[in-house]
Amino acid sequence: TGGRYNISDWLYTSLRDNKAYDQFVKELLNPTEKSKGFIEGIKWRGTVNASQRTEMQAAQNVGQVILGLNLKCASCHDSFISDWKLEESYAFANIFADSTLEVSRCEVPTGKMAKTAILWEELGDIDSAANKAEKLRQLADRLVQPANGRMYRTIVNRVWKQLMGRGIVEPVDEMDNAPWSQDLLDWLASDFVENGYDLKELIYQIASSKIYQSQSIGYETYDAVMADDYKFNGMVRRRMTAEQFSDAVSEIVYPLFPEDAIKYNPFELQKPEHVTPTFARASLVANNPFLTALGRPNREIVSTSREAQGSLLQALELTNGERLNTALQKGAEKWKTQLSDPIQITEELYLKALNRKPNEKELAIAKTALGAKPDAAKIQDLFWAVILLPEFQMVE
């Protein structure tokens, strides 16, 4: 509909330059022309529900992404799943409004005008008489202050989950839930603030820890990982994301996406000396049936978690999907022109895909499958067998 603003350039350069997180949030809440898309939301054509007007979208998105809370229920009525009230949601949404909002309960106007307030009065007041620009400036200043531990616990919890497979608090959008370690959550947030809101330093802190580098832990079911009585034993073993799997296949075998499939090209923003990748990264292409089947969410809505379990659709795509089959076929033809010895082909594939050489049994099976003079079809079958191994697909 043309009713939204793209923030990709701003987002990419901010992350590339490791912009301090407090400044990052400030620019989202009190935006420049390049970053205004986050709070401007989607301007739907025609009449929309009161809970979907852009001011309420902004309140919902800021609440979910930055503060780890769900205001969607409380945008229509008092929430059934939390303590947030309808009036609190409208008071928060009023900060993003040009004029005072009228509270609607279940889409019925109440005749009551909303107040203007942050969700936690301890963070300070917002001048209800101020214009929108001033209210946004005040909101940005109030939320990024070190006293707002909620915001900093939320971001460190998200990074922890991304690296470890399970948040200290789950779900990551419901930070009112009890953490499995309050001390760890508080320390990470405090250390993050003391280190200048440095996201790269936060990632380094976690990734360089002994626990991150230790053996991953497998669980029989996803419910066991998300259980209320969960006890941390190490990084959760999990499947690669759709983008990770796609990029791995593209790097090892053959690109899954042609260069002209790139929907957004951040390398146009790079300095000339930067090298452009040799294949289209999956994160830069538009969503498609292959990535959707592997779990990539719809980007039209804020999504901060993904389905972790396999599905029938995914199995069908990996075994019979045209995109993967074509990439494996072209990759096999390319490898055939470069390598002819079955042992060399097998060892090269195992080193690239699994970071190890095949054992005697694996090598014997591969030699039998490839034959003395491997053709492209046999090499393709070997590719397919290896990339479907749990050892390849799992983050360990």
DSSP characters over 120-174? -GGG----TTS-HHHHHHHHHHHHHSTT-HHHHHHHHHHHHHHHHSS-SSSSTT-
Q: How far is it, in rounded angstroms, from Cα 362 to Cα 356?
A: 12
The model's pTM is 0.88
| C-alpha span between 25 and 391 (Å, rounded) | 38
Q: For 257-294, what is each residue's pLDDT tens digit?
A: 987 777 666 666 665 555 555 677 888 888 888 998 99
- Contact by Cβ (8 Å): 250, 261: no
Span 364-395, pLDDT tens digits:
999 999 999 999 999 999 999 999 999 999 98
Ranges of H-type helices in 177-311: 182-194, 199-207, 210-213, 222-226, 242-252, 289-293
In the chain, the percentage of residues whose pLDDT exceeds 70 is 92
Asked if residue 221 has pLDDT above 90, the reply is no
| Rounded CA separation 58/278 (Å) | 38
DSSP 219: -
**pLDDT grade, residue 300 (50/70/90)?**
low
pLDDT given for residue 310 in this prediction: 78
**Residue 358 clears pLDDT 50, i.e. is over it:** yes
Structure-token pair, residue 206: 């976690």
Q: 43: Cβ–Cβ under 8 A, 6 or more apart, which residues?
A: 1, 3, 4, 54
Tokens 């804020």 appear where? 302
Whether residue 44 is predicted with pLDDT greater than 90 in this model: the reply is: no
Examine the pLDDT at 3 and tell me if it is beyond 70: no
Sorted by sequence, the CB contacts under 8 Å of residue 180 that are 6+ apart come out as 168, 230, 231, 232
| Cα separation, 179 vs 346, whole angstroms | 46
pLDDT of amino acid 1:
41
Write the pLDDT tens digit of every residue in 137-179: 999 999 999 999 999 999 999 999 999 999 999 999 999 999 9
DSSP code per residue over 87-104: HHHHHHHGGG-SSPPEEE
